[in-house]
Homo-oligomer: A and B are copies of this chain.
């Protein structure tokens, strides 16, 4: 065999390996689903150490699935539906996600009281629908969530419970109308608190302050989201 032949063989082998690497790489890249969590402060903190998105990432690692999913937090404190609408292009669609979780609504209710700038129910629904339309048009699947709590007391005696229930209903209606999957976080959390908030405290069971999650609350959220990461 001539050295030329050997070289040819080596070159072809290298090319073959490179090709395989590229193929595997592109395969990998095509396989890794990009998942964006689009929301408010709970999601902003959720992407930090100890947060629910970080916990989901750890769970994926343990399950040997971390190569399949890329989780991206896109939460900003104080955000309402209008804020999500305003930044959906830059913060979500431009990143070409495969799956987007929308988890918003607490500030839409809460800011009525604290700033006088909550969201009207009809406009909440209209802008929410537009966000879903636009993200779906960008090629991603959308899963939407009901808002959790402002106060953990049982039997709906927290000041904003009525309005949170009302906006949760709006979101359930959107899910039905648009035929998108729903994670009913509020229902799940109210049910959990009904069983576990024995001292009937305003905070301290799943949240630090009635709204933002403690360790248990982040774990609770991670468990709620996990089945939808697929």
Which residues on A are within 8 Å of B, measured CB to CB?
82-83, 86, 111-120, 123, 126-127, 151, 155-166, 169
Contact = CB atoms under 8 A, between A and B. Distances in A.
A86 B123 contact: yes
Nearest to A113: B116
A86 B131 CA distance: 12
Nearest to A159: B163
A201 B116 CA distance: 23
This chain's copy number in the assembly: 4
Interface residues of A, dominant DSSP: helix
22 contacts: A82-B82, A82-B123, A86-B127, A111-B116, A112-B113, A112-B116, A113-B116, A114-B114, A116-B116, A116-B117, A117-B118, A156-B156, A157-B165, A157-B166, A157-B169, A158-B162, A158-B166, A159-B162, A159-B166, A160-B162, A161-B165, A162-B165
Contacts of A116: 111-113, 116-118
A186 B83 CA distance: 28
A130 to B, nearest CB: 8
Contact of A82 (B111, B127, B158, B169): B127
A66 to B, nearest CB: 37
A227 to B, nearest CB: 26
Contacts of A161: 156, 161-162, 165
A175 B116 CA distance: 26
Nearest to A116: B112
Given A82-B120, A116-B117, A151-B162, 6 more contacts: A82-B82, A112-B113, A155-B165, A160-B163, A161-B165, A162-B163
Contacts of A117: 112, 116-120
